[in-house]
Structure 1
Amino acid sequence: MKIFRCGNCNYAVFFENYTCENCGHLTGYKDKDRKMLSFNPSNTSLISDKDQVEYKYCKNKEYDACNWVIKKDSLEDYCNACQLNRMIPNLADLDNFEKWKNLEVAKHRLVYQLQKIGLAIPSKLRDINGLCFDFVAQQNNPNLMTGHANGVITILLREADSVLREQMRKQFLEPYRTLIGHLRHEVGHYFWDRLIYTNPETLEEFRTIFGDERVNYGEALQLYYKVGAPSKWEASFISKYATSHAWEDWAETWAHYLHIMDMVETAYFFRMTVKPIKKSNDLKAKASFDPYTIEDFDVIIKTCKPLSFAVNSINRAMGVPDVYPFVITPVVVDKLKFIHQLLLSKR
């Protein structure tokens, strides 16, 4: 993600900030041009410091769940990200409330990225082919699970509980389990329907690279949970779960594509450079480009690998887990390239 700055004093602010910590001006994200606007808190209305245009906050600002702004004369009460919500939990339950806010942080970051890629994300509440989110508590319904179906992404609130999430990560022997990871994975299923299934030529290429999605999905998952991943799966898949079915290989690879692009974009805005003391070409990298402007994915992955190794090394020095605990093999790179070229062709 890019670095945002206060429009009043130019101080750096985070994507989720409601105020500038330096000058105290209010801040609000405008998704149309991906800019953080600032507003003098002494004004009676929300007038931007830079363009003197009047805005209003998304209605979810009242819950401190969204800092996006809309033009004052807009007929909408919710921003483009919050319009994707179909179900949210009972906010009178304080535990649910805090978990929902954590989910909103991850969802807004996802929407930022999808918009930057240039993907259309209409709300399913208005377009039958659109996308929507159900953030729900499982309660006593064991059939209610995190997943995707026909444009509806369901995320169980328990995923926003860091303790339970870590327990599930260990239970499923996963190296990584995060809210943004879940959202990126599930939205990958939605875009498979939009980008792959509807295009016969692309579908055939997909089958060559990822496998045949016509294999019975339920049976494939049952087999995976019974016997696990095949031996030497690491050579061809980004994760064990990716081996279960072609759809899951796509969704897992899609999620990692978004991880990588966000990682390199952030490094670019910080002008990060990895230059070891001892000469080592495989560990050298200079994030001198915005990855969303690069056609050659090899350039992106060549920069990503040293960056992730360096950050993982810093984490290990602090006794915390790797930020990116995955190995990207040549076969996985080919899958990532397929996604990259597919998205470039849709711009």
Structure 2
Amino acid sequence: MKMFHCGQCASLLYFENSCCTSCGTSLGFAPDVMDLLAINSKDADTWEDVSNGNQYKLCGNYRNQGACNWLLPVSDTHTFCIACRLNRTIPDLSVARNHDLWVRLEREKRRLVYSLLRLGLPCEPRQEDQYGLAFDFLADQPAMFDERAKVITGHSHGVITLNIAEADPVERERMRSQMAEPYRTVLGHFRHESGHYYWDHLVRPGPWLGRVREVFGDDTRDYKLALDQHYQCGPPANWQNSYISAYASSHPWEDWAETWAHYLHMVDTLETAWQLGLRVNAKRGSEMNSGPGEAFDPYRTDDFDGLVKLWLPLTLALNSLNRSMGHEHAYPFVLADPVVEKLRLVHRIVNSG
């Protein structure tokens, strides 16, 4: 994630900010320039970038729900921004707490969309393209004794469904513990499920399918049977030698989705570190260096080996910082050589377009 500065007072901003905490100026993220802009209201429907006078309008969910801080060019005929137009179903906002849970989901979804835009990947809303992407944010129904009432997070034919309970930290931690997962976040869900969507768009119909099967395995294996076996018997004893997570070992589709999500973790975290001026190298003395040069962009680099070389010491730093604060490892993963090769293939496919 890039670092953003207020166009009015130059203060450092967070991606989620809708107003500058230093000068109070209104803010909005403009996907056309991929920047968080300081904006002033010219009239009820028009806002102006204080830096250059470009005119925008607020996303409908910015104005009405406080659930978005994105902008659209004033000439755009849509009511909602590109991120919010991906929504097919949102929670029933008349139900207590649903609004807060939905806002948390939207915040993480916008981080996913930021990455997709930075990578130049197609993310047209399904309502505008029959092969586009859509999100259903749903809640479990009261009849919890009936498994049909429980919402299962997943992907099907371009629609990503997310149980809004995942936005509740207490419920998510309960599920993380129950599923014996070292890492479980809302953003991780979004990135994982988007991997299934891009399998259908980048792998299945194109020239990469054969190579992906060589690296990830035979995806024609019975998917339901494979998952049932995984949940009944657990992962193979040596799964860490070939997979990024235990769940990745269940089926090649899940291996792809887990690896895809991890690639997005890598490039976005590396961009954040670079933007903050963080240069990590655990070597000593004359072997130390200052890290990537000013032109470094993890979202656009062709040098995958360079990404890995920077990623490994950064994860060591993340874990060391977390442990210094008394927390568990922020990065509970090991990149075995076969996992690195899978990540390399994802990198090649993403950058092939």
- TM-score norm. by structure 2 comes to 0.93
The 5-angstrom pairing of residues 1-347 of structure 1 reads: 1-40=1-40, 45-61=46-62, 62-139=64-141, 140=143, 142-143=147-148, 144-199=151-206, 201-276=207-282, 278=284, 286-288=291-293, 289-346=296-353
Letter in 1 for 2:317: A
Q: Distance in 2 between matches of 1:188 and 1:51?
A: 37
Q: Do the aligned partners of 1:272 and 1:287 also contact (CA within 8 Å) in 2?
A: no
Letter in 1 for 2:250: S
Q: Distance in 1 between matches of 2:14 and 2:55?
A: 22
Q: Distance in 2 between matches of 1:164 and 1:155?
A: 14
Partner-residue secondary structure (3-state), 2:161: strand
Q: Do the aligned partners of 2:139 and 2:165 also contact (CA within 8 Å) in 1?
A: yes
Q: Do the aligned partners of 1:117 and 1:292 also contact (CA within 8 Å) in 2?
A: yes
Q: Distance in 2 between matches of 1:304 and 1:54?
A: 39
Distance 1:205-1:7 versus aligned 2 partners, 3 A rule: same
User: How far is 1:278 from its partner?
Assistant: 4.7
Q: Distance in 1 between matches of 2:223 and 2:327?
A: 36
Q: Distance in 1 between matches of 2:281 and 2:310?
A: 12
Distance 1:20-1:322 versus aligned 2 partners, 3 A rule: same
Letter in 1 for 2:229: L
Partner-residue secondary structure (3-state), 2:162: strand
Partner-residue secondary structure (3-state), 2:24: coil
Distance 1:155-1:285 versus aligned 2 partners, 3 A rule: farther
Partner-residue secondary structure (3-state), 1:125: coil
Letter in 1 for 2:212: F
User: How far is 1:118 from its partner?
Assistant: 0.2
Aligned-residue CA RMSD (Å): 1.7
Q: Do the aligned partners of 1:197 and 1:203 also contact (CA within 8 Å) in 2?
A: yes
Which stretch of structure 1 is more off in the superposition, 148-157 or 51-60? 51-60
Q: Do the aligned partners of 1:241 and 1:249 also contact (CA within 8 Å) in 2?
A: yes
In structure 2, list runs of 5 or more residues that go unmatched.
none
Letter in 1 for 2:95: D
In structure 1, list runs of 5 or more residues that go unmatched.
none
Distance 1:297-1:70 versus aligned 2 partners, 3 A rule: same
Deviations, residues 72-128 of structure 1 (Å, cap 9, x unaligned):
232111000000000000112231111100000010000000000000111111211
- TM-score norm. by structure 1 comes to 0.95
Partner-residue secondary structure (3-state), 1:213: coil
Q: Distance in 1 between matches of 2:176 and 2:116?
A: 26
User: How far is 1:285 from its partner?
Assistant: 7.0
Partner-residue secondary structure (3-state), 1:28: strand
Partner-residue secondary structure (3-state), 1:36: strand
Partner-residue secondary structure (3-state), 2:10: coil
Q: Do the aligned partners of 1:25 and 1:41 also contact (CA within 8 Å) in 2?
A: no
Q: Do the aligned partners of 1:185 and 1:255 also contact (CA within 8 Å) in 2?
A: yes
User: How far is 1:276 from its partner?
Assistant: 4.5
% identical equivalent positions: 43
Distance 1:219-1:17 versus aligned 2 partners, 3 A rule: same
Q: How many residues are treated as equivalent by the alignment?
A: 344
User: How far is 1:284 from its partner?
Assistant: 7.2
Deviations, residues 251-274 of structure 1 (Å, cap 9, x unaligned):
000000000111111111112112
Q: Do the aligned partners of 1:238 and 1:252 also contact (CA within 8 Å) in 2?
A: yes
